[in-house]
Amino acid sequence: MEANVEAIKPSPYQPRYIFNLDYLESEIKKDGLLSDLVVRRKGDFYEIIDGERRWRVLKKLGWKNVPVRVVNADDEKARLLIYKLNKIRENYSIEEEARYFKKLADEGMTPLEISKQLNVDFHWVLAHLNVFKFPDGIQKAMWTRQISVSHIVALESVIERNIKEAVLTAKEILERKLAVSETRKITQKREEELKARVDEMRIKAVEKVLPAIAPKVPKLETPEELEKAAEALKGKAILMREGALMPEEIAKMTAPFEGRESRVEIREDITGSMQTVKSLREKIQALEKEKEDLLQKKGFLTEALSFNCPHCNNPCVVYREGDSYWVE
């Protein structure tokens, strides 16, 4: 079928914003239009799914009517078709793809949703979105391919942790013209250094609280002392996570674990202690309920007297309810 060229509109899901029309214009002048535009119906107009460059050339050449093929497609399907069909014909520039992913993100889509809907690798999507966290100079270096998308993927963990550090690394990539493999080595080395600093800070923090948790491990200098401290802390964490004991109870229960080497043994002791506490609490609750039920019964014990029975010469209790008496 044919549609008026003015009744056709570009799609808002078009990733491409740079259209090279010169070659296509000469081809259409020479051979005519070789394939119909693919569109979907949107109210009183048609929205292009495939063929925006052809439509632009035909308008420029003064065509009034254009052959079209109408397909049924919701927004999600249209978004996928437009993205894939355009990419097959000519790959997007880094800037085009980055700005397209950003447009979808600004509309409320998460990187994971973009990845799933367009069938694109998640880290590829995230890298393009991460470009906009950098200053303009780094962004321009991306658009001109001085820094590749793979470089940004390699910097992913650094960007999440500290964007200032990521900017410095990106500048280092530009200055030294670092390959992606070299970038990975740099980020890995810095992550290892950071982990070492964090571990050192954690050990210092543990040393401050250790006397209260594990008084038998005063220092953390040998592997054995570190392992004992770790077991004590793990035991406390398990108990606190279960919510079975109060902090002061936890401190008392973790002390006996010092000097123990078997994790299984410690875990069994902790589990057994927790089950014992739980069992006692259940028994107390059951007794409280039984007491409450008895007190609510009509005609329950109104008076009880204790005396030495003249028949058996043993302490007995006589119960009275109204005018009735009985002995136990």
HEC sequence for 21-88: CHHHHHHHHHHCCCCCEEEEEECCEEEEEECHHHHHHHHHHCCCEEEEEECCCCHHHHHHHHHHHHHH
Secondary structure of 100-137 in HEC code, one letter for each residue = HHHHHHHCCCCHHHHHHHHCCCHHHHHHHHHHHHCCHH
CA distance 226 to 246: 25
Identify the helix (H) or strand (E) that includes residue 5.
Answer: none
Single pTM value for the model:
0.56
Q: Does residue 259 have a pLDDT over 60?
A: no
Average pLDDT over all residues of the chain: 78
| Choice among 78-82, 158-162, 221-225, 282-286 with the minimum mean pLDDT | 221-225
pLDDT of residue 299: 46
| Choice among 22-31, 56-65, 99-108, 132-141 with the minimum mean pLDDT | 22-31
3-state SS assignment for residue 262: coil
pLDDT of residue 213: 57
| Choice among 6-15, 155-164, 277-286, 318-327 with the minimum mean pLDDT | 318-327
- State mean pLDDT over 116-124: 92
Per domain, the residue ranges of the chain are 1-91, 93-195, 214-290, 298-328
pLDDT of residue 303: 43
| Choice among 193-197, 202-206, 243-247 with the minimum mean pLDDT | 243-247
- State mean pLDDT over 29-34: 87
Banded model confidence at residue 161, pLDDT cuts 50, 70, 90: confident
CA distance 244 to 273: 10
Q: Does residue 224 have a pLDDT over 90?
A: no
CATH assignment of 1-91, given 3.40.50.10540, 3.90.1150.10, 3.40.228.10, 3.90.1530.10?
A: 3.90.1530.10
Domain 93-195 has CATH 2.60.40.10: no
Q: Which one, of 80, 92, 91, 169, lies nearest residue 130 by Cα?
A: 169
pLDDT of residue 305: 47
Q: Which one, of 207, 258, 262, lies nearest residue 236 by Cα?
A: 258
Banded model confidence at residue 262, pLDDT cuts 50, 70, 90: very low
| Choice among 36-40, 150-154, 300-304 with the minimum mean pLDDT | 300-304
- The conformation of residue 314, written as its DSSP 8-state character, comes to S
Identify the helix (H) or strand (E) that includes residue 324.
Answer: strand 324-327
Q: What phi and psi, each to the nearest 5 degrees, are found at residue 17?
A: -125, 0
Are the C-beta atoms of 235 and 228 separated by less than 8 Å? no
CA distance 310 to 248: 53
Q: What phi and psi, each to the nearest 5 degrees, are found at residue 164?
A: -65, -40
Size of the chain, expressed as the number of residues it contains = 328
The more confidently predicted of residues 305 and 280 is 280
| Choice among 39-48, 77-86, 150-159, 237-246 with the minimum mean pLDDT | 237-246
DSSP percent split of the chain into helix, strand, coil, nearest 5: 60, 10, 25
- State mean pLDDT over 149-167: 92
The more confidently predicted of residues 245 and 161 is 161
Q: Does residue 79 have a pLDDT over 50?
A: yes
CA distance 251 to 210: 10
* Helical axes 94-106 vs 136-143, angle rounded to 10°: 130
Which one of 216-230, 231-245, 278-292 scores highest in mean pLDDT?
Answer: 278-292
Q: What phi and psi, each to the nearest 5 degrees, are found at residue 222?
A: -110, 160
CA distance 71 to 278: 65
